[in-house]
Amino acid sequence: MRFYRSWQRPRALSFDLDDTLYDNRPHIRAANQWMVDTLADELGRRINWQTYKERVLAVKPALIHDVTECRRAWLYLGLKEQGIAQAKQRADELMDEFVAVRSNFTVPESSHQLLAELAERMPLVAMTNGNVDIQAIGLSDYFSYVYCAGGGYRQKPYADLFTAAATSLKLMPKQIAHVGDDPITDVYGALSNGYQAIWVNDRVSVVPTLLPHLEVGQVTDIEALWS
């Protein structure tokens, strides 16, 4: 654990989900492969779906902040142009199935224990740019509030999720510490919105442009702050 800034014990914590409380990389890779294989089986050929995503974002750039609706939109466009009669219905079905597949994993018991202990001390907030089903992965009960990018909220590091969380908690941003792995969305996002920042650097990443309040090697290390 390394301290870079003056640290004040927070009255609440916000947590990033993917790659902070669990390793999301194998699960999102598997879900993306499932989607590619499923579409190839249904269409009888493989399509460059990235081009449909690029076309959707060219017309509706705000969808970059909503991974679910962006994927739904390019699925619909692609299926329609590939001649699928019920393209919208099938895009909706595939999107639901994708979220279920990408949320079909077990969160490490160490993360469950950490959240359970911290939730007894203070309110916790989940704050994610992704679309994991937090109830399906068994984490929803630990959090007082859950905020996901999309539906009018821009992704971190924009202020939207940070402001919403502080408002719901009825706390000043400096009274909240945000815990996350990403130097931009989590560390820069927290600091630029007045939060304290706890950087989970379990991959020996490059040093962020803005140093966090403290750096830990794994998320469970933060338990020592209350020991």
Q: State the DSSP string of 23-80.
A: --HHHHHHHHHHHHHHHHHHHTS---HHHHHHHHHHH-GGGGG-HHHHHHHHHHHHHH
What are the structural domains of the chain? Answer: 2-22+106-226 (3.40.50.1000), 26-102 (1.20.120.1600)
Distances (CA, A) of 182 to 12, 217, 218: 20, 13, 13
Secondary structure of residue 128 in the 3-state scheme: strand
Q: Which residues contact 70 (CB under 8 A, 6 or more apart)?
A: 53, 56, 57, 63, 64
CA 201 to mean position of chain CA atoms? 16
pLDDT at 209: 77
The whole-number pLDDT of residue 203 equals 79
* Mean per-residue pLDDT pooled into runs of 10, the chain (227 residues): 94 98 96 96 92 96 97 96 94 97 97 98 98 98 98 97 98 98 95 97 76 95 91
Helix then strand then coil, % of the chain, to nearest 5? 50, 15, 35
Question: H-type helices in the chain, by residue range?
Answer: 25-43, 49-59, 67-81, 87-102, 109-119, 159-169, 189-192
Helix 67-81 to helix 49-59 angle (10° resolution) is 120
Residue 20: per-residue pLDDT: 97
Instruction: Quote the pTM value.
Output: 0.94
Which residues, 6+ apart, have CB-to-CB distance to 203 below 8 Å?
A: 181
Cα gap 112→143, rounded to integer Å: 12
**Which residue in this structure is represented by tokens 């990033």?**
16
* pLDDT the model gives residue 210: 85
Structure tokens that stand for 49 in this block: 């779906």
First to last CA, the chain: 14
Q: Contacts for 146-152 with beta carbons within 8 Å, 24 or more apart?
A: 149/65, 149/66, 149/67, 150/65, 150/66, 150/67, 150/68, 150/69, 151/66
Peptide bond into 157 cis (omega under 30): yes
Contact between 130 and 18 (Cβ < 8 Å): yes
Res 165: pLDDT: 98
Q: What's the token pair of residue 26?
A: 């194998």
Tokens 């699928």 found at: 84
Q: Which residues are catalytic?
A: 16
